Chains A and B, each alone.
Chain A
Amino acid sequence: MRNYKNVIAAYSIMIFLIMLVGIFQSWSIALTILNYCLISAVMTIGANIQWGYAGLINFGIMGYTALGGLAVVLVSVEPVKKAWQVGGLNILACIWIIVAIIFVVKFILNRFDKSKLRNYSVASVILGGIILLRVTAAPGIEAIESVDPAKTGFLGGMGLPVLFSWIFGALLAGGLAFVIGKIALGLRADYLAIATLLIAEIIVSIIKHEEWLARGVKNVIGLKRPAPYEIDLQTSEWFINLVTKFNSSKLNLINSISDKQEALNQMVIDASSVYVKLCFTGLFLTVVIILLIVTQKALYSPWGRKMRAIRDNEEAASAMGKNIVKEHLLIFILGSAIVGLAGAMMVTNDGLFTPGSYRPMRYTFVIWVMVIVGGTGNNFGAILGGFVVWFLWVEAAPIALFLINLFTSHLPETNAVRVHLIESAPYFRFLVIGIGLLLIMRYRPQGIIPEKIIKQ
């Protein structure tokens, strides 16, 4: 129990901070922050599996997050029948062509020895395939994108409940990680970082510009929710009764009936948004706890020990007969799948899919800061990192604004420096995160909650 003292202390402080936000700003904001903290925690668990367990540096987190988001659209949106009619055949044909290209290339690679001729034939098959793809896809894409472009203009999804998309997002991200892992995992650490960063950028640009797939930069809005809608809550009997019950003491203070009704309405509106967010919090918390239990079990299993052995000394582990390439690929897939799950959770929480918002700053580097700050190789640390850094990321601007006002209060309102500083308050978050990262790297390189090695 003594070992867990600092963990419990750190989490209590975090919860306390979020409650402070609830008291001073509003409970709705506090819950939004908490939900995002939980999503970030899932992402950091994924990144921590790769970096903390196996020492793989994956700067492609943005790509998997976006893919998870795409999964939500592909699974939960109702299919656009007309688009399928006009262009579905072409798209299906394209998928077959891609499969055919892969098989032909594989066949050539397996069948013939390494030679110049083989290289040229592989290159020509791929090039010919791409030209064939473009010719087949072009009329289909044009037809699909012209189906009611203001509202649809894409193929739509499968129309399934949105929770399925979380699993599908994880599968999709894992599948992509398999391909990328096959390509890039042999690279040296810093090469791998750059390669994954750039591949993620390619994925996002494909999602952004292939409008038949998920409307691209035109965004998909109004996605399904696993939680009730605020409007439905505000009109349902039981919810209004619940709110009345909770606030009966406050309501009793108001005398006139019309005032009472007005106050109640306001309370119901506030409470409905809090209620919806609480539903999400419950869902996310379940996911985080399940993941935490599984990853914690894995970490202290023989498999986890093997991973750490590989991380700490590849040659020695290899000499002991461990298949490093295979294990690295496996852990790369697992970690990426968890990040994909987080991406799907995030889009579900937002209720909209905006490919334009996927930027490496927010979805790769901030997540990495979370892992480093929290504690590499320790799941509790990684989750805490997600909480702390996300909290700072959101609250840095208001805190900076408060401090600026405090320190420049002796200056007149129109002072140029003061106005400029107040305008640039949102950017202090970069400063806080950057300095935080540098300080942690320097003075506590293992993170807030360092890795614990249990001697067995």
Chain B
Amino acid sequence: MDFLNAIIVLFNFTVIPALAYGSQLALGAIFVTLIYAVLRFANFATGDMMSFGTMFAVILTYYFQSLGFGLGVLPTALLTIPFAILMMILYMLIIDKFVFSYYRIKKSPPVQFAMVSVGVMFVTQALIRIIIGPSDRRFLDGEKFIIKATEFKEMTGLAEGITLKSTQAITIIVTLIVVSIMFWFLNKTKTGTSMRAYSDNEDLALLSGIDPKRVVLITWVIAGILATIGGVLYGLDKSYRPFVYFNNMLPIFAAAIVGGIGNPFGAFLGGYVIAFAEIFVTYAYKRFISYLLPEHLEPDSLLQLLSTDYKFAVSFSILVIVLLIRPSGIFKGKVI
């Protein structure tokens, strides 16, 4: 019984949150990696682009709520995602048309692209703050929990409970659906193959008649879908605050590089690697251990490797270690 309790404690406080957080990071990381593979630059506007998409979802959620639309037990935000994605793609295409395409035609070095994306980051951040403001917003409605700790305890008769928030379940399910569709698209369809060819060898792809404009367009469309969904899921799970989204760019980058930048599957797993590392290293194992050990051996300290203040630092340290030992990432990068 004690053993079961210990497992449940661990599951409740580390595995479930890490799975949810990892899914959010994974979507962002695939977004980064796609841009890197096809358009060949590190996009420093990642966090703010996700924020931009989420902003539309938040505004539309408020609008739908005022009209009385809703999905019942599910959050209204799910209904607004398609519209937000459309707005996001439109914004990305405008940015691409007026900013990035010029450098693409000129074949500028990646560093210049990165600096340009910093400029886009500033502009996007300004637009977000001017439109919706910098404050913290919650836009979650509908049922909050799927399983409550008390219900779980009553059901099983254990001392520890499992809490499963609906946002966590939605996050994991939606991520799996989106990612599987995307991998199917990249690997099985003709357009997906042409994207991979373009990413692999641009000149050869052009020779075989692949339209670069179409590839770029499709890439931005997929990027818009990923960015918006990732952003909305994060916002539902925690809350929507522009500054936090900007900061999230850093673990997302870490996830993309750890997984091997340019490799979508690597980025997908990289998100979970980062999330699990962050949570496992900063979790206090006292309660977990106390179930496993006999009573007189119970530890006094929290048994925490690092305090939760260092959550971000953990993921960045992993990144530094990976860069040192295996710069191409865990799963060899630079192939889509």
Task: Select one of B42, B99, B123, B129 contacting A190, CB under 8 A.
Answer: B42
A198-B111 in contact (CB<8A): no
Chain B, residues 39-61, CB within 8 Å of chain A (1/0): the string is: 00110100000000000000000
Q: Judging by beta carbons under 8 Å apart, are A438 and B116 in contact? A: yes
> Is A194 a contact of B253 with CB atoms below 8 Å?
yes
A97 in the interface (beta carbon within 8 A): no
Are the CB atoms of A187 and B323 closer together than 8 Å? Answer: yes
**Secondary structure of the B contact surface, majority rule:** helix
Report yes or no: B127 in contact with A190, Cβ–Cβ below 8 A.
no
List of A residues within 8 angstroms of B119 by Cβ: 369, 434-435, 437-438, 441
Residue A57 at the chain B interface, CB threshold 8 Å: yes
Q: CB of B9 within 8 A of chain A?
A: no
Does chain A have a CB within 8 A of B225? Answer: no
The proximity string for B residues 113-154 relative to A, scoring 1 for CB distances below 8 Å and 0 otherwise, is 011101111111111011001100000000000000000000
Q: B187 interface residue, CB < 8 Å from A?
A: no
**Chain B residues positioned under 8 Å from A369 (CB to CB):** 118-119, 122
Give every chain B residue within 8 A of A57 (Cβ-Cβ): 111, 114
User: Looking at chain A's contact residues, is the secondary structure mostly helix, strand, loop, or mixed?
Assistant: helix
Q: Judging by beta carbons under 8 Å apart, are A431 and B126 in contact? A: yes
Is the CB–CB distance between A198 and B320 below 8 Å? yes
Q: How far is the CA of A17 from the CA of B23 in the complex (A)?
A: 50
Q: A223: shortest Cβ distance to chain B, in Å?
A: 24
Given contacts A194-B42, A365-B118, contact A187 B327 (CB under 8 A): yes
- A184's closest neighbor in chain B, by CB? B323
Interface residues of B in 277-336 (CB under 8 A from A): 307, 309-310, 312-313, 316-317, 319-320, 323-324, 327
Q: Check: B112 CB closer than 8 A to any chain A CB.
A: yes
Interface flags for B20-54 (1: CB within 8 Å of A; 0: not) read 00000000000000000000011010000000000
* Per-position 1/0 for A410-430, Cβ under 8 A of B: 000000000001011001111
Interface size grouping (class) on chain A? 35 or more
A198 touching B121, Cβ below 8 Å: no
Chain B residues with CB under 8 Å of A433's CB are 122
Q: Are the CB atoms of A183 and B324 closer together than 8 Å?
A: yes
Contact among B121, B134, B312 for A434, CB-based, below 8 A: B121
* Among A169-177, A200-208, A318-326, A330-338, the stretch in contact with B: A200-208
In this complex, which of A201, A206, A423 has the most chain B Cβ atoms within 10 angstroms of its Cβ?
A: A201
The answer to the question of B212 belonging to the interface, with a C-beta cut-off of 8 Å to chain A, is no
Q: Judging by beta carbons under 8 Å apart, are B316 and A198 in contact?
A: yes
Contact: B111 with A190, CB < 8 Å?
yes
What A residues does B313 contact at CB under 8 A?
Answer: 201-202, 205-206
B316 and A201 form a contact (CB under 8 A): yes
Interchain CB contact under 8 A, B316 and A424: no
Q: How far is the CA of A184 from the CA of B44 in the complex (A)?
A: 19
Q: Which of B110, B118, B129 contacts A189 (CB 8 A)?
A: B110
Q: Which residues of B contact A361 (CB under 8 A)?
A: 125, 246
CB-defined contacts of A429 to chain B, threshold 8 Å: 126
CA–CA, A183 to B322, complex, Å? 11
Contact between B110 and A427, CB atoms less than 8 A apart: no
As a 0/1 sequence over residues 349 to 371 of chain A, the CB contacts with chain B under 8 angstroms (1 = contact) are: 00000000000010001001100
A126 → chain B closest CB, angstroms: 10
Interface residue? B69 (CB, 8 A): no
With contacts defined as CB atoms under 8 Å apart, how many contacts are there between chain A and chain B in the complex? 121
> Are B316 and A365 closer than 8 Å at their CB atoms?
no
Within 8 Å by CB of B111, from A189, A423, A428, lies: A189
Given A187-B327, A190-B114, A434-B119, the answer on whether A428 and B309 have CB atoms closer than 8 Å is: no
A199 within 8 A of B: yes
- Residue from A198, A365, A368, A427 within 8 A of B319 (CB atoms): A198
Confirm or deny: A209 has a beta carbon within 8 angstroms of a beta carbon on chain B: yes
Interface: A449 (CB within 8 A): no
Instruction: Identify the closest chain B residue to A439 (Cβ).
Output: B119
| B309 with A208: CB separation less than 8 A | yes
The answer to whether A368 touches B115 (Cβ under 8 A) is: yes
Q: In the complex, what's the smallest C-beta–C-beta distance from B166 to chain A, in angstroms?
A: 32
Contacts of A199 in B (CB 8 A): 316, 320
Contact status A209-B42, CB under 8 Å:
no
Pick the contact of A198: B110, B122, B253, B324 (CB < 8 A): B253
- Flag if A209 contacts B310 (CB, 8 Å): yes
Complex contact B130–A428 (CB within 8 A): yes
A205-B312 CB under 8 A given contacts A195-B323, A441-B119 = yes
A42–B72 alpha-carbon span in the complex (Å): 58
> Is B254 located at the chain interface by the 8 A CB criterion?
yes
CB-CB under 8 A from A201, the residues of chain B are 250, 312-313, 316
A445 to B119, CA, bound (A): 13
CB of B111 within 8 A of CB of A183, answer no
A197 at the interface (CB under 8 A from B): yes
B197 contacts partner chain A, Cβ-Cβ < 8 Å: no
Nearest-Cβ distance from residue B15 to partner chain A, whole angstroms: 23
**In contact, B122 and A423 (Cβ under 8 angstroms):** no
CB-CB under 8 A from B63, the residues of chain A are none
Q: How far is the CB of A59 from chain B (nearest CB, A)?
A: 9
Does chain B have a CB within 8 A of A372?
A: yes
Contacts A190-B114, A197-B250, A198-B316; is A209 near B122 (CB within 8 Å)? Answer: no
CB-nearest residue of chain A to B116: A441
Fill in one digit per residue for B233-270: 1 if any A CB lies within 8 Å of its CB, else 0: 00000000000001000100110010000000000000
Nearest neighbor of A437 in chain B, beta-carbon distance: B119
Contact (Cβ within 8 A) B129 A434: no
Report the minimum CB–CB distance from B62 to chain A (whole Å): 15
- Contact, CB under 8 Å: B121 / A365: yes
B185 at the interface (CB under 8 A from A): no
A191 within 8 A of B: yes
Distance between Cα atoms of A11 and B177 in the complex (Å): 58
B308 to chain A, nearest CB (A): 10
CB of B102 closer than 8 Å to a CB of A: yes
Give the chain B neighbours of A430 by CB distance below 8 A: 122-123, 125-126, 129
Q: Are A190 and B310 in contact (CB under 8 A)?
A: no
Known: A194-B42, A437-B115; 15 extra A-B contacts, CB below 8 A, are A187-B327, A189-B110, A193-B42, A193-B114, A194-B319, A195-B319, A198-B319, A199-B320, A202-B312, A202-B313, A209-B307, A365-B122, A430-B125, A437-B122, A438-B99
What are 11 A-B contacts with C-beta separation under 8 Å? A183-B324, A190-B42, A190-B110, A191-B323, A193-B111, A197-B253, A198-B253, A205-B310, A369-B122, A435-B119, A435-B122
Closest 4 CB pairs of A and B: A434-B122, A430-B126, A431-B126, A434-B123
